[in-house]
């Protein structure tokens, strides 16, 4: 039987993203490491969380993104690498 590496597919939970660490695959302006500083509550009750706020560790600049974008491994890696 040929060797097949196993794949770990971690499912992201928006409720557990607060203060999680992320690394940009293609850093810009020396901003490589980021923290999730806010999980933005939905505008209407019953809707799911969609947006989070990321803060660059180097510059302190903050911006909002949809939390599902963090699952794109071509843009983000979980943890600081």
Q: Average per-residue pLDDT in the chain?
A: 88
pLDDT at res. 1: 47
Cα–Cα distances (Å) from 15 to 23, 42, 51, 60, 63, in that order, read 20, 12, 11, 23, 18
pLDDT at 7: 40
Cβ atoms 18, 67 nearer than 8 A: no
Residue 4 has pLDDT above 70, yes or no: no
Full-model pTM: 0.81
Contact 18, 40 (CB under 8 A): no
User: What is the reported pLDDT for 44?
Assistant: 86
Q: How far is CA 13 from CA 28, 38, 59, 70, in A?
A: 27, 14, 27, 11
The alpha carbon of 25 is separated from its chain's Cα centroid by a whole number of angstroms, namely 12
The model's pLDDT over 8-36, given as tens digits with 9 standing for 90+, comes to 446 788 889 999 999 999 999 999 999 99
């Amino acid at each position: 039987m040929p060797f097949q590496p196993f794949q770990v597919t971690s499912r992201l939970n928006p409720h557990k993203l607060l203060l999680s660490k992320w690394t940009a695959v293609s850093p810009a302006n020396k901003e490589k490491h980021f923290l999730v500083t806010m999980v933005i509550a939905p505008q209407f009750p019953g809707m799911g969380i969609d947006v989070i706020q990321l803060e660059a560790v180097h510059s302190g600049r903050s911006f909002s993104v949809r939390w599902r974008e963090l699952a794109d491994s071509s843009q983000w890696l979980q943890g600081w690498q």
